[in-house]
Amino acid sequence: MARPTRLRILCTGGLGYIGSHTVVQLIEAGYDVLVADNLSNASPIVEDRIRKITNATAEQLRLDLKDKQETLQLFKDERIDAVIHYAALKAVGESVQKPLSYYENNVGGTCNLLEASPSDVYTADNSWKISILRYFNPVGAHPSGLIGESPDQPNNLLPVIQHVAVGRKKCLQVYGNDWETPDGTGRGYSVLELKQVFEKVSGKSIPHEVVGRRPGDLACVVADPTLAENDLNWKATRTIEEACRSAWKWQSSNPQGYA
């Protein structure tokens, strides 16, 4: 039997914020997509939203990569040509409080995934390789307003601002005003500048208060997309205002997220 011509891609964590947007892009690019998610940080509603956007269905199964036997069985039962691995925990404060839980999920789950990957891939294809993308803190939402970032207890800046805008939080907490940088990020926009942009596009006032630093926060973290432009011919083009506008479209259309 001839091998199917369409590549089949496994996307772990595919119902999460980043994963769902990736799944949409993959389907629209013509790939077959298998989504694996344990729903610890995602909602099953996302599957229906993906279907509405793409008019196609990505196969979805509930899988916890910490379960080694289930992960091994997945690769025995399914044809998988490539893997995009998003299934991980990432909250800085929580990772300091629960380091072993994060190790078990992020490191243990990844090890199970690697062990389950067919061994013949390593020897049969000299072009086989692993690529790691450090995507920092993405912001914004799909232009349709159907999928976006929907944490119950947001840790990243823009979702916190969004929750304040729809009344789910009282105010924005700025973690420390004694950093060497204006807000501890080292980016082109400070926390308060991003707040002001969001207020502009949403028409909402976002009250804020300065509180103590969070455990695990760094004074300066700078994202440089130059390598992506050089190697992948990809260039960051969206403005902060565009990102805030799409995020507000999502949040105002879904004030309680996927609930």
- Say what the pTM is: 0.85
pLDDT digits (tens, 9 = 90+) for 190-224: 788 899 999 999 999 999 988 777 666 666 666 77
Asked whether the predicted pLDDT for residue 1 surpasses 70, the reply is no
Query: Looking at residues 95-111, what average pLDDT do you find?
Result: 94
**pLDDT-derived band of residue 128, with 50, 70 and 90 as boundaries?**
low
Q: How far apart are CA 122 and CA 142, in angstroms?
A: 36
**pLDDT-derived band of residue 60, with 50, 70 and 90 as boundaries?**
confident
Domains of the chain: 8-124 (3.40.50.720), 157-253 (3.90.25.10)
**pLDDT-derived band of residue 244, with 50, 70 and 90 as boundaries?**
very high
**187 in the Ramachandran plot: left (φ > 0), alpha (ψ -120 to 50) or beta?**
beta
Q: Within the chain, what is the greatest distance between any pair of CA atoms?
A: 66
Over the chain, what is the mean pLDDT? 86
Asked whether the predicted pLDDT for residue 123 surpasses 70, the reply is no
Cβ-contact 91, 20 below 8 angstroms: no
pLDDT digits (tens, 9 = 90+) for 149-178: 998 888 888 999 999 999 999 999 887 665
Cβ-contact 257, 150 below 8 angstroms: yes
